[in-house]
Structure 1
Amino acid sequence: MEKIIEVKEISKNYLKRKTKEMITAVNDVSFDVHRGEVLGLLGPNGAGKTSTIKMICGLLQPDAGSIQINGLDIQKKRLKALKHISAVLEGNRNLYWRLTVRENLEYFAGNRGRSRKEVKFEVEKLLEQFRLKEKEHELVNGLSRGMQQKLAIAVALLANTEVILLDEPTLGLDVEISYELREILKMIVKEEQRTVIISSHDMPVVQDLCDRTVIINKGTVVVDEKVENLLKLFETKAYSVKLGSLLSSDQELQLMTKFPLSSYNRGVHQGTVTVNLEKSEDIYDLFDIFKKEGTLVESIDRTAIDFEQVFMQIVKGEKQYAMV
């Protein structure tokens, strides 16, 4: 597939004001974004993800390495490179609060050199798609957070760039609005075939929308793989064990020590253990814990796994997984 963004060995260091200590936020990060794909750029708080996003958007300069957007080096040809990307950054809604919904769409399209006449049809379409038609003449500062977020994304789409970067698009939204926005984004991605980068802690968004994910932890890339491959990989290691009796406190401690990402649901007389086994032979260690106090195993089944579990497994495991 054709590359539209190339991130090559970028690093970013910060100097602590009080201690003058140098902190490495991003350390030799490299990945590509292919034209027409939806990429999830993920990482826990403090992992270096936000610094990476700001460097891609031209808001920070890397201390080392390079970023190319559509073949243009963002440090050497910044303005030309940034014409190919629009962004909605968390905490910055990219909107004028004293303009109406429609006025915001027309104003920011004008900033990108597009006339009101040129974007007339697109504005109408976006108002309908994002269910903002009834609010088109209302001031932005009177809208709900969900409406403001939908408008910010519509503004980014109207810029007509090849790449759209969405940073935490569902943050702070209630479940209903979050689901609605997810469905709208799925429709947009399917219809327009644009390249989209999504940074989110909302794992259902990643699982629903993203083709591939790059996970950054402690300033480095720990995973660069298709979402479906990650789900398949971890699904083969996820088991649910139904027990005929309860675990003792000592057994629970052993379970959590040996399998820190496992869970134990205690019933009245029975319990269920959900565990991810890194190696097939780990099942013997699991059964040794049960055997020690004669705990009966009634059934063992492979379980379905969602992307949130995959993400936590990767981040807490603090290791790079070899993908197959």
Structure 2
Amino acid sequence: MTTPIIEVQNLKKSYKKRKTKEWITAVNDISFTVNKGEILGLLGPNGAGKTTTIKMICGLVRPDSGSVSISGIDNQQKRLQAQEHISAVLEGNRNLYWRLTVRENMEYFAGNRGKSRKEVASRIDELLQQFRLKDKENEMVNRLSRGMQQKLAIAVAMLAGSDVILLDEPTLGLDIETGYEVRELLREIVRNEQKTIIITSHDMDVIQDLCERTVIINNGKVVTNDRVENLLKLFEVRAYAIKLEGHLSEEQHQLLLEKFPLLEYKPDTVHSILEVDLTQSQDIYELFDILKLEQIPVDTIDRKTINFEQVFLKIVNGRDKVAVSQRA
């Protein structure tokens, strides 16, 4: 049985535009949970309400209505107590002081949490080893590579000892090797430290690789809350590539576009390929009825390989009515 460590209930938040004084609803009745020990992807296009939701979870913005509880503690009624259970690593190197060394940064931020140097000395040594930063402990942060800065920011969050770590774009700007190193470190944190991680990212490869479940926000609402593997399977079984031994007539092409507006048609000198997403499984019969009009032989039918970036784009662009699910 899964145990929620964060519970977001019916969050709403509106802002007034400075120039027009118009009220904009950024978050409109959002609810979801984050389970203890999982890696959750919290996603959404720009302007979807994701950032406002994150700020309310972190206690940086007060909701107009609704609630956030962290480890059973209400984030509004007992804000400081609730925030002891969550650490955030924000995108853009805003988590570190550049004119302090690696070790000094860790000591400083531990001090902000009320911990003395002596109290955290051994834990700092452990984290420096774990994050492969020991040989850089006396280096100024502004001289570190982007990858080392990001690893240090995560290590600082770990030093806080919080149950939940929220990572905003954890691999942004990293080279491929360092990006994979950060991914493996995050797996270790969950596996060995029993932490819960929330990741926001525009890198869908990271989400597909790391996250068990994803919550996708669009237009201020949760549009999908499901396991990544379920979403991939859902789209994969309805995405087909069909190779034809010939070309479609103009009438066939038009009929197919009317029924399947996202259809892609790729003719070459002899063959042609149709790539189509079926909203319902029985739609394939209508597809073949149209192909039969000119008796074009079908060479092969294959399910298309789909990745999570394609899934995400289909969901946020409203291209799929079935994918909207709430199977937390």
Indicate whether 1:314 and 2:315 are aligned. Answer: yes
Letter aligned with residue 98 of structure 2: W
Tell whether 2:161 aligns with 1:160: yes
Q: 1:265 to 1:175 in 2, by over 3 A?
A: farther
Residue 323 and residue 68 in structure 1: after superposition, are their counterparts in 2 closer, same or farther (change >3 A)? closer
Of 302-311 and 17-26, more deviation after overlay is shown by: 302-311
Displacement after TM superposition at 1:180 (Å): 2.2
Bigger mean CA offset, 207-216 vs 54-63: 207-216
Q: How does 1:62-211 map to 2 (within 5 A)?
A: 62-211=63-212
Contact 2:225–2:325, Cα closer than 8 Å, also in 1? no
Q: By how many angstroms is 1:110 displaced? A: 2.1
Query: What secondary structure, in the 3-state scheme, does the structure 2 residue paired with 1:152 have?
Result: helix
Describe the SS at the equivalent of 1:188.
helix
1:169-197 Cα shifts (integer Å, max 9, x gaps)? 11222333222211221222222121111
| Cα offsets for 1:62-94 (capped at 9, x unmatched) | 011111111221111111111110001123531
Which whole-Å deviations, capped at 9, do the CAs of 1:256-301 have from their partners, x for residues lacking one?
A: 6644555455555434333321101222343355445554421002
- CA positional deviation for 1:139: 1.0
Report the residue type matching 2:165 in the other structure: I
What is the match of residue 39 of structure 2?
Answer: 38
**For 1:231 and 1:264, how far apart are their aligned partners in 2?**
23
The code of the aligned residue for 2:23 comes to: M
Shift in CA distance, 296/124, structure 1 to aligned 2, threshold 3 Å: farther
- Higher mean C-alpha deviation, range 137-146 or range 124-133: 124-133
CA shift, 1:122, in A, is 2.8
Using the alignment, how far apart are the partners of 1:253 and 1:89 within structure 2?
48
Quick one: distance in 2 between partners of 1:274 and 1:79?
A: 53
Aligned amino acid, residue 60 of structure 1: V
Give, in angstroms, the shift of residue 250 of structure 1. 7.6
Conservation of the 8 A alpha-carbon contact between 2:89 and 2:153: yes
The SS at the match of 1:317 is: coil
**2:44–2:216 Cα contact (<8 Å) kept:** yes
Aligned residues: 324
Percent of aligned pairs with the same residue? 64
* Cα distance change, pair 284–105 in 1 and its aligned pair in 2 (3 A): same
Q: How big is each residue's C-alpha offset from its partner over 1:237-257, in whole Å with a ceiling of 9 and x where there is no partner?
A: 122222334557886676566
1:303 is aligned to 2:300 = no
Worse-matched range after superposition: 254-263 or 281-290: 254-263
Pair 1:186–1:266, CA change in 2 (3 A): farther
| Contact map agreement 2:223 2:325 (CA 8 A) in 1 | no
Provide the C-alpha distance between the structure 1 equivalents of 2:225 and 2:33, rounded to a whole number of angstroms. 9
**Which residue number in structure 2 is paired with residue 24 of structure 1?**
25
Matched AA of 2:324 = Y
Amino acid aligned to 2:236: E
Distance 2:151 2:312 in 1: 26
Unaligned 5+ runs, structure 2: none
1:276 partner letter: D
TM-score after normalising by structure 1: 0.90
Uncovered stretches (5+) of structure 1, i.e. residues with no partner: none
* Alignment partners' CA distance in 2, 1:323 and 1:240: 29
Larger mean Cα displacement after TM superposition, 68-77 or 7-16: 68-77
State TM-score, norm by structure 2: 0.89
